[in-house]
Structure 1
Amino acid sequence: MRRATQTAADRAYVAFVESAWTRHLRLAVLLTGDRWRGEELLQDTLVNIYARWRRLARHDDLHAYLRRAMVNNNTSLWRRRRRERLVAEVPDHPARTEGRHPDSADLRAALLALSPKQRAVVVLRHYEDLPEKEIARLLGCTVGSVKSHHARAIARLRTLVREPSGL
């Protein structure tokens, strides 16, 4: 009987992973700034969730839980790698072309120049389209702190790339 329960739980976990992988991979890549680190972050987070799957399977919003766990895991990784420089060189003032939006490489380099917390706020706000209150809950800080990080991040992004109308 216990074996059948494990199999059902395992099937539920596999279904969750299949639904979560593509949905959250881009978030992981944006948080880490690198495709391979993003995949590693998502995979490590999903492994951690599997270890607690029986308890978490009853959670109201597993995708929200996964997002928060990825942000927390990324912050922990960043703290461990604090001295490692993620971007080889980001120019102080990249060449700008009048009237164009930054291409994805320019924007990616600019995002990598932000602190991990600022990057998390920008990605969660503009990619995941989460409200400030939810971002504050995910990051374990106040709404005022989220607003402050967001304002500083947007100001920094504006100095690094041509200002699109949306920023």
Structure 2
Amino acid sequence: MEGIDGRLEQVDGDARFAEFVAERGEALMRYGYVLAGNPHDAADLVQEALLKVRAAWPRLRSKDNPESYARTTMARLHIAAWRRRRREQLTWEPPDREHRDALPSGDERAMWLALSGLPRKQRAVLVLRYYEQLDDAEIAKVLGVSRGTVRSQASRALDKLRAAVPAEWSAVGEGAR
């Protein structure tokens, strides 16, 4: 009888995992896109993270927030990727033709372009700070760096963004605070 109970538990766990993916998959893709800067890397991050979540599912399903585990896993996978490719410049399109993703129009376009031009570590720090609403200590823990590194990367990234966006737009952003 134990074999049957174990199989029933596995089927139930599979159904719960499938339900989790169906409910939170789009949110994880959006997070991956903001973190990675392109839909291809975002899809890879989500797939790799979901494989790890599935492997840990027996432990996670009793917890309140398996999505937090998935997001942390995605951030760590993203950081591991830029550590491996520090000096490489990867491109999705061959150099003989230009491709631009559809971006918001106007001033937001300048901000998105500036954000996508940041180094991966700086972009990861800003995404975790402003998109995930994490504080410096939490960001440092997720990225495996010191709090001072988080602050310096955030400062450098914000300086680059301020220099890259139109002056009239950054003045609007200052007034909104």
What TM-score comes out, normalization by structure 2 length?
0.76
CA deviation vs aligned residue, 1:25-83 (integer Å, no higher than 9, x gap): 11101111101221121112111211221123234432221111101111222233331
Hey, which of these two has a bigger chunk of helix by percent?
2
1:13–1:53 contact (8 Å) kept in structure 2? yes
1:87 Cα deviation after fit: 8.8
Identity of aligned residues (%): 34
Q: For residue 173 of structure 2, give the secondary structure of its aligned residue in structure 1.
A: coil
The corresponding residue for 2:108 is 103
1:136–1:146 contact (8 Å) kept in structure 2? yes
What letter corresponds to residue 47 of structure 1 in structure 2? L
Structure 2's unaligned 5+ residue stretches are 94-105
RMSD of aligned C-alpha atoms? 2.5
The corresponding residue for 1:31 is 35
Question: Which structure is higher in RCO with an 8 Å CA cutoff and minimum separation 6?
Answer: 1
Aligned length: 156
What letter corresponds to residue 3 of structure 1 in structure 2? R
Structure 1's unaligned 5+ residue stretches are 89-100
Instruction: Summarize the alignment of residues 54-69 of structure 1 with structure 2, pairs less than 5 Å apart.
Output: 54-69=58-73
What letter corresponds to residue 73 of structure 1 in structure 2? L
2:60–2:66 contact (8 Å) kept in structure 1? yes
Higher Cα Rg, which structure: 2
1:133 to 2:140 alignment: no
CA deviation vs aligned residue, 1:66-111 (integer Å, no higher than 9, x gap): 11110111122223333124599xxxxxxxxxxxx7223x223212
2:79–2:143 contact (8 Å) kept in structure 1? no
The corresponding residue for 2:173 is 166
The corresponding residue for 2:126 is 122
Are residues 166 and 125 of structure 1, via their aligned partners in 2, closer, same or farther at CA, if it must alter by over 3 Å?
A: farther
Q: 1:12 aligns with which of 9, 16, 37?
A: 16
